[in-house]
A and B are shown apart, each in its own frame.
Chain A
């Protein structure tokens, strides 16, 4: 014997079951963002200080370098037997600078190359110190290894925002257009079901996945790349929730009238592709001209990305993301209201 469930809970449950039994959908929601983060994270990963390659000719018992071998953590030294070999390596870019062990020392380098100028300073510094130079002004070095300023740190909140947009618009849009195509939508309107229950169930089923989605992406970022979460986790979840609701509204709007999957896909791309580019997912939206900034800042994905980064990377509080929250809420409410009004049930 089974007990009848309230309609909203039953509709939500059915939508969740439908979704998790669709392997492709699960891939796009969970695997895709992580794969994207892995690929981009490795492509732009931090590789300690870069070493500069330099060459030495005539390193032996004689000359100024005798007894003062070139030692520096930032130099990678190669010895060449003849001047000709060394110059050849310099010309082909294998080394940035060639040191001729004569008295005086001769530095061969191209001053227009930044790495060559760096090599010139590093080599000279190493040699002069080894030879006993004392710096007249004393100093102390403090090394910064700041997590949160790397590309992956910038990227991860963007990918989270992008994924919330994609799954919101795509998940809800396709679900609805499919139900309309298969006429289950029409059949359900022939029952006493409240129409708002149906739409609400679509959104609630998204929220169910939202938590898993955020957990998967954040856990990956923290564990694999050590991306920091400086602000409150609750505030971060709240921002993601608001963003997700906003995109759910857009998803409903996109699917409100579409009669075919093709029409819906076209509309979804029309909505999503500009935000992929403009909303600061892969690079900062600040790079676009000032004149375009008000428009770009008003896009829901920009607002969500800004809010996620402010909380995650800068550890800001709720007060700092009020504007973004307002933008997201406005998009969500407006699109839900319009969708409800123009929705095609048959």
Chain B
């Protein structure tokens, strides 16, 4: 790719991969996966554990060689421009336990020294709200603080693309929110983010586009709104009754999509609330059933995933 045509650079994808495959023994972790991520975009790989998200992101990070397929990062290939690429990328792995004996600043300073250029560690500490822990041993940090340090290390080289593999898994809601704000700041500076997650809220809040991954393949892709709108039943009616209705009863209602029951509550996807809700109430009335609760909400990515796979995202 030529760099002298600014226009070509601006439209070239930040991350591009075609026909990615990787198997470990009998397990096909990645099974023919294509992605095109634009510069300045926050892109999410969404899927349950074991869907192949981590293998995919590690192939893109140049840490795992694929069995087949082509990867282009910032117009470069791993084989030829590894060092140049590494200087332009920031990586946070799913599970890194930093040496507990070093202090927060020492670790960040170490990572900074590994990059030819980058950001001042003191400023990074401030940005990630770690100044108070500057001289604390890493062994004494909380989970959220450690994760913020991992992100700070990934940002030490002032990267153009930030790879985040399940960056908030296992964190409390407050720490998660705090990290989301950091990612949004990075993204607001026009940088590219690729993250994997199995948290719907995370994908919905952060990602411009998401790809739903299952069994090593992308089964749906688009903005969160597009994916939800693509459902033929984008509204969810949530209700409980005494006696409960059966799945057959619900399927007979107009515009009903997926139905699932959790405890005594039904979650029914419907095409139109104005058609479905009166019909449901009439059905309950006819059967002499008493309505215990009723609420509706717009479908989420969770509902998209269930509609696509018939499984819940976190059911393992």
Contact = CB atoms under 8 A, between A and B. Distances in A.
A190 B63 contact: yes
A66 interface: no
Interface string A180-207: 0011101111111100000000000000
B121 A182 contact: no
B121 A2 contact: yes
A188 B93 contact: no
B204 interface: no
A14 interface: yes
B109 interface: yes
Given A182-B96, A187-B91, A188-B114, A22 B63 contact: no
A1 interface: yes
Interface stretch (A3-11, A101-109, A114-122, A151-159): A3-11
A183 B62 CA distance: 15
B275 interface: no
Interface string A6-24: 1101110010011001100
Interface in A1-59: 1-2, 4-7, 9-11, 14, 17-18, 21-22
A265 interface: no
B85 to A, nearest CB: 9
A190 B98 CA distance: 15
A2 B109 contact: yes
Given A1-B120, A22-B101, A7 B113 contact: yes
Nearest to B89: A190
Interface string B78-94: 00000100110101010
B106 interface: yes
A94 B288 CA distance: 112
Interface residues of A, number: 28
A198 B245 CA distance: 65
B159 to A, nearest CB: 10
A10 B93 contact: no
Contacts of B114: 7, 10, 188, 191-193
B101 A187 contact: no
Given A7-B113, A189-B63, A190-B86, A182 B101 contact: no
A17 B106 contact: yes
Contact of A184 (B63, B64, B99, B137): B99
Contacts of A18: 99, 101-102
Interface residues of B, number: 34
A182 B63 contact: no
B110 A11 contact: yes
Contacts of A187: 91, 93, 96, 153
A2 B120 contact: yes
B258 interface: no
A346 interface: yes
Nearest to B117: A4
Interface in B284-303: none
A143 B127 CA distance: 78
B120 to A, nearest CB: 6
Nearest to A197: B114
A184 B95 CA distance: 9
A279 to B, nearest CB: 33
A5 B111 CA distance: 10
Contacts of B101: 17-18, 21-22
A22 B96 CA distance: 20
Interface string A148-184: 0000000000000000000000000000001100111
B36 interface: no
B116 interface: yes
Contacts of B107: 14
B97 interface: yes
B96 A184 contact: yes
A183 B102 contact: no
Contacts of A7: 113-114
A180 to B, nearest CB: 12
9 contacts: A6-B113, A11-B110, A183-B93, A187-B96, A189-B63, A190-B91, A192-B114, A193-B114, A346-B63
Given A14-B110, A179-B99, 9 more contacts: A1-B122, A5-B113, A10-B109, A18-B102, A21-B102, A182-B97, A183-B97, A190-B91, A192-B83
